[in-house]
Amino acid sequence: MTHDASAHAFETRAIHAGQEFDPTTGAIIPPIYQTSTFVQDGIGGFRGGYEYGRSANPTRDSLQTLLASLEQGSSAFSFASGLAAEDALLRSVLTPGSRVLMGNDVYGGTHRLVNRVWAPWGVTLETVDMSDLDAVRAAARPGETTVLWVETPSNPLMKITDIAGLSEIGRAAGALVVVDNTFASSYVQQPITLGADAVVHSTTKYLGGHSDTLGGAVVVNDDELASKVGFMQFGAGAISAPMEAWLTVRGIKTLGVRVDRHSDNAQLIADALVSHPAVETVYYPGLESHPGHALAARQMKRFGGMLSVGLAGGPAAAKTFAESTELFQLAESLGGVESLIGYPSEMTHASVKGTELEVPENVIRLSVGIESGNDLLADVLQALDRI
């Protein structure tokens, strides 16, 4: 039996979309097609359209079908990393002279991609506080701004942008609106349903969910853009490998239950830290004191597992805190089942030091995992005691 996955709720699609059992053996889990090429029945006689692994592979197709279904787009494309996905999308739409208007607290690597990789090819980067739509309206130049690029929640300061409002500004300016949905995950929000033109993911994070694979994705809802990104995936070749695609599919099946638990644990910690004397600011949209709380409550299904903390004792306190947790392990990345702690200004955002994207040096970032919430809270509190 095959499933009309589109008729079902998110949690059902996460398990069934693109995941038909193997017709040859009945294996419930579609196999990993670990192959570089496909035998032809005579010249041009392709079985199922498969010819060569860079152009298409059934395991990658199953992930792409799943991602398109979850994000409610018409097509999805998977890549070797989040940055490879971002680059392929940008290559599909930028030409010399293009202007990119980007949130002023995006992931440092995304800023670096445009600022250092794209700038020498005649592309201009401008940044703005995307949570301030008046500022975005003033900065978007109709006919000149090619791309509006936002992360919401942003990384690491957890600012919330109104995706529907931003999409209207993008439409009026003739600019493509791209949402990096890595921090929220597809379970929490689906930007295409709010008017965005494209969604990108580092599937390395919540979608993979187990810190065991790297990957990226672009999801779009327009055939012309889909054919450009599809051509770039084939023509430039930064595809996801079969094993990585399969691991990502396996991770996605539990996305909803994981993100519910991530969100419960993050809220528990955020609530406990707001009144802690060693803490100056807690950046978490689930707190009523967060400036984006009401918008986040409308736009997001859950508030997610990421939170940042500004320490009252400044950079030294922040570093001691980051090096004193035991369950929260000091590492780059986020979105895995295990809790991680990071010091953005010298880790994830080291590449934007000295720019307007510089992260305050008293800020640490927590990727709250799905361990026992009480154990995680106890760990954070004992680390704060050591400051």
List 33, 50, 107, 343, catalytic entry? 107
List 54, 141, 228, 253, catalytic entry? 54
- The region of 36-44, 77-85, 132-140, 252-260 touching ligand PLP under the rule CB under 6 A is 77-85
Among 30, 73, 82, 286, binds ligand PLP (CB under 6 A): 82
Residue numbers 85-144 binding ligand PLP by CB under 6 A = 107, 109-110
Of 30 and 103, CB closest to ligand PLP:
103
Dist. CA 16–CA 3, nearest whole Å: 7
User: What's the start-to-end Cα distance of the chain, in Å?
Assistant: 59
Of 35 and 355, CB closest to ligand PLP:
355
- The region of 116-124, 176-184, 280-288, 354-362 touching ligand PLP under the rule CB under 6 A is 176-184
Position closest to ligand PLP via CB: 82
Distance of closest approach, residue 24 Cβ to ligand PLP, in angstroms: 33
Bridge pairing between strands 176-180 and 279-283: unpaired
- Catalytic-residue membership of 284: no
Among 62, 155, 221, 308, binds ligand PLP (CB under 6 A): 155
Report how far apart, in Å, the C-alpha atoms of 150 and of each of 126, 197, 338, 347 are: 12, 12, 27, 21
- Catalytic-residue membership of 50: no
Dist. CA 230–CA 236, nearest whole Å: 10
- Catalytic-residue membership of 205: yes
Of 198 and 384, CB closest to ligand PLP:
198
Among 105, 162, 180, 244, binds ligand PLP (CB under 6 A): 180
CA angle, corner 166, sides to 163 and 170, nearest 5? 130
Of 30 and 208, CB closest to ligand PLP:
208
Burial class from Cβ neighbours inside 10 Å (0-12, 13-18, 19+) for residue 298 reads exposed
Q: How many residues line the site for ligand PLP (CB under 6 A)?
A: 15
75 - beta bridge partners?
220
List 87, 105, 180, 379, catalytic entry? 180
Among 202, 221, 248, 324, binds ligand PLP (CB under 6 A): 202
Bridge pairing between strands 198-202 and 216-220: antiparallel
Among 88, 139, 214, 322, binds ligand PLP (CB under 6 A): 214
Bridge pairing between strands 145-151 and 198-202: unpaired
- The region of 19-27, 80-88, 159-167, 235-243 touching ligand PLP under the rule CB under 6 A is 80-88
Among 64, 75, 78, 81, binds ligand PLP (CB under 6 A): 81
Is position 216 an interface residue for ligand PLP (rule: CB under 6 A)?
yes
Name the residues annotated as catalytic: 54, 107, 180, 205
Residues in touch with ligand PLP (CB under 6 A)? 81-83, 107, 109-110, 151, 155, 180, 182-183, 202, 204, 214, 216
